[in-house]
């Protein structure tokens, strides 16, 4: 039961262009969403998050969009840089009860930014 799905295993973009990473979820109880970046042999590093009361959150080159009706979110990176090459994970959580703070992750998307 994959509640968070990243259907694109990999994405390749040219330096300076936009990278768009997509994520779909099925659990309507999810109300907080996060994106993490992961390099090999390191733990995931937090990038940006969004609450379900918003539809957009921006932080520098990173913007996350949330479409609740479609249960879809996306991460936009503009402009893309070679140092952005990593695995990107989408994660979701729901407030309340003992699951507070537990994250459910997607499978990840490998982003490669070519110089």
Partner 1 sequence: DTGVSQNPRHKITKRGQNVTFRCDPISEHNRLYWYRQTLGQGPEFLTYFQNEAQLEKSRLLSDRFSAERPKGSFSTLEIQRTEQGDSAMYLCASSYRQGTGYTFGSGTRLTVV
Number of residues that bind partner 1 (CB under 8 A): 28
27 binds partner 1 (CB under 8 A): no
Rg, Å, the chain Cα set: 14
26 binds partner 1 (CB under 8 A): no
> In terms of CB distance, is 65 or 105 closer to partner 1?
105
Residue 49 in contact with residue 62, Cβ under 8 Å?
no
- Residue 84 and residue 33: Cα distance in Å, rounded? 20
SS3 18: coil
State in angstroms the smallest separation of the CB of 16 from partner 1: 29
State in angstroms the smallest separation of the CB of 14 from partner 1: 26
Residue 110 φ then ψ, to 5°: -85, 115
Q: Contact positions toward partner 1, by CB under 8 A? A: 4, 6, 32, 34, 36, 41-46, 49, 51, 89, 91, 93, 95, 98-108
């Amino acid at each position: 039961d994959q509640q968070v799905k990243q259907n694109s295993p990999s994405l390749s973009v040219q330096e300076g262009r936009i990278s768009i990473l997509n994520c779909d979820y099925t659990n309507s109880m999810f109300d907080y969403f996060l994106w993490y970046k992961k390099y090999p042999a390191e733990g995931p590093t937090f990038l940006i998050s969004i609450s379900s009361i918003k539809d957009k959150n921006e932080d520098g080159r990173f913007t996350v969009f949330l479409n609740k009706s479609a249960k879809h979110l996306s991460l936009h990176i503009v402009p893309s840089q070679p140092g952005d090459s990593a695995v990107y994970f989408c994660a979701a959580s729901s407030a309340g009860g003992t699951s507070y703070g537990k994250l459910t992750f997607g499978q990840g998307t490998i982003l490669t930014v070519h110089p």
